[in-house]
Amino acid sequence: MELGIKAWARSRNLSCRVVVIVLLSSPLTKSFQAAMASFKEIVDRARAAFQSGRTRSVEFRKQQLLQLKKMYEENRQTFLDAVHSDLRKPKLEATLFETGFAEKDLDFLLTRVEDCLKPQEVAPVMPQDKCLIYKDPYGVVLVMGAWNYPLQLSLIPAAGAIAAGNAVIIKPSEVAPATAAAIAKLVPQYLDKECFHVVCGGVAETTELLKQRFDYIFYTGSTGVGKIVRDAANKFLTPTTLELGGKCPCYVDQTADLDIATRRILWGKLFNLGQTCIAPDYIMCPKAVEGEIVAKAKEILKEWYGDSLEKNPDLCRIVAERHVDRLAGYLNSGKVVVGGKYDKESKWVEPTILVDVKENSKVMQDEVFGPILPILNYEKYQDAINFIKKGEKPLAMYVFSKQQNVVDAFLSQVSSGGATINDTLHHAANPNLPFGGVGHSGMGAYHGDYTIDTFLHKKSVLIRNFDSAPEKMLSLRYPPYTDEKLKILSA
């Protein structure tokens, strides 16, 4: 676990921590030891509440979801201020993909929660039988949120777990301290205090939390930390959903409307200043298309943000200084043709496009997670497909083309968590589509009905009566075994 702590530390900004239920302190102090003991108490309280049956009724679930909705409505500005404090996130982006996204998800859950929980009848093998799929909540669920969308990535999975009838412990990201503090303060004011808890803290506290026994773990974050979470879950064979990331490719060919394509790619890349798990990570296109994309990008950036991008309120900020250092290290991976400026103190990295990028360059080794967009050149779409397939499976894939055979080739040959054709990000906004990764980009899916399904165990149930008619047929299974019985049963 020591190696796990170090890996976690590298993925977090340890200078920013919020500790509400636990105390921030040295592992050697009594307060830290008391905090560690409190984790078991919190989990035990949640488990006792679940085992009492109070989370199972549809009425209780609906009431708690309505309370969550009330919390959003009455504290919308508080949450908007919090995400602005953490990331300087513009109001439009914060509303669309934080408060508004979470509220719309709740509205969807409220319309579906009752139907999704009814036992599902399926066809029997024996006509006299009745076969059902019961949907049981797992029990005590741990939801671990991420800092880039610190509100919705913590509370949308939690809402699904509540809708499914579980007790929930929410661990918001300490790297977004203002949002974590808001969640920790407000959730107990609106939700049942025994069934639902918020735990805040840093690396050491989270490491101790993962030593507790949960019935399901839902984690959003980096692949490296996802492996740590999975290792911790393995101790108790706890099922997990891992919403991770990776390098999301964006292919553009000469048939695409390049003005529209460039706008849609830049919007997807610069939303949250590139700190989005499904942001286009790099572009693949023919050399001639590259020149047009670069020229149009310069025009569009000026149209959107003016001459002083750093002062424009419609652009987010990088979450931490160390991430500015990381992004600055990618600038030598190619020729800077757009942007390239950065300021560590203000946590600013300018929207940047790199060309003449090599496949093995530094910027192509890691998920960029920032406003730097490298371009690789391919004349044949199959070469681009082959390049993607050499790497880990991406969380999302984008293809801009009017050629259906090209689109079909990417969709049929490339395994990815999801895909949008001729736009970016939008497949993640439809609650009727499952959102999740595959391979190194994650496991499991959620959004809409799929969020509820994630936190339910499907229990197979067969109901058989004592009538004599079916028993005559069923008695053939009893010894002594004969060839005649085998012949009848095999027919």
Domains belonging to the chain, first-starting first, are 2-244+446-456 (3.40.605.10), 249-436 (3.40.309.10)
pLDDT of residue 17: 32
DSSP readout, 233-298? HHTTT--EEEE-----EEEE-TTS-HHHHHHHHHHHHHGGGG--TTS--EEEE-HHHHHHHHHHHH
DSSP readout, 53-102? TTTTSHHHHHHHHHHHHHHHHHTHHHHHHHHHHHH---HHHHIIIIIHHH
Sequence-separated (6 or more) residues with CB below 8 Å from residue 478? none
Contact 139, 47 (CB under 8 A): yes
pLDDT of residue 471: 78
Walk along the chain (491 residues) and give the pLDDT tens digit of each residue. 433 434 444 444 433 333 333 333 334 345 555 556 689 999 999 999 999 999 999 999 999 999 999 999 999 999 999 999 999 999 999 999 999 999 999 999 999 998 888 999 999 988 889 999 999 999 999 999 999 999 999 999 999 999 999 999 999 999 999 999 999 999 999 999 999 999 999 888 999 999 999 999 999 999 999 999 999 999 999 999 999 999 999 999 999 999 999 999 999 999 999 999 999 999 999 999 999 999 999 999 999 999 999 999 999 999 999 999 999 999 999 999 999 999 999 999 999 999 999 999 999 999 999 999 999 999 999 999 999 999 999 999 999 999 999 999 999 999 999 999 999 999 999 999 999 999 999 999 999 999 999 999 999 999 998 887 777 778 888 999 999 989 988 88
Element at 39 (helix H, strand E): helix 30-51
pLDDT of residue 34: 56
Catalytic residue selected from 195, 248, 277, 285? 277
Sequence-separated (6 or more) residues with CB below 8 Å from residue 176? 16, 82, 83, 86, 87, 147, 150, 319
In whole angstroms, what is the distance from residue 196 CA to residue 47 CA?
A: 10
Sequence-separated (6 or more) residues with CB below 8 Å from residue 249? 280, 281, 282, 284, 384, 388, 394, 397, 398
The total of other beta-carbon atoms located within 10 Å of residue 34's CB is: 12
In whole angstroms, what is the distance from residue 291 CA to residue 355 CA?
A: 10
Contact 238, 217 (CB under 8 A): yes
Sheet strand arrangement including 216-220: 196-198, 167-171, 140-144, 216-220, 240-243, 442-443
Q: Tokens 């298309």 identify what position?
A: 289
Render the burial of 147-181: b for 16+ CB within 10 Å, e for the rest. Answer: bbbbbbbbbbbbbbbbbbbbbbbbbbbbbbbbbbb
- Residue 315: left (phi > 0), alpha (psi -120 to 50), or beta? beta
In whole angstroms, what is the distance from residue 88 CA to residue 317 CA?
A: 6
In whole angstroms, what is the distance from residue 44 CA to residue 436 CA?
A: 30
At position 281, the amino acid (one-letter code) is: D
In whole angstroms, what is the distance from residue 401 CA to residue 410 CA?
A: 11
Q: Residues 116-158: pLDDT tens digits?
A: 889 999 999 888 899 999 999 999 999 999 999 999 999 999 9
Contact 109, 163 (CB under 8 A): yes
3-state secondary structure 189-218: HHCCCCCEEECCCCHHHHHHHCCCCCCEEE
Going by their DSSP bridges, the two strands 435-436 and 418-421 should be labelled as: unpaired
In whole angstroms, what is the distance from residue 32 CA to residue 135 CA?
A: 39
Catalytic residue selected from 93, 98, 208, 243? 243
| 277 a catalytic residue | yes
**Could you give the count of Cα atoms lying within 13 Å of 88 in the half-sphere of its Cβ?**
15
Contact 13, 173 (CB under 8 A): no
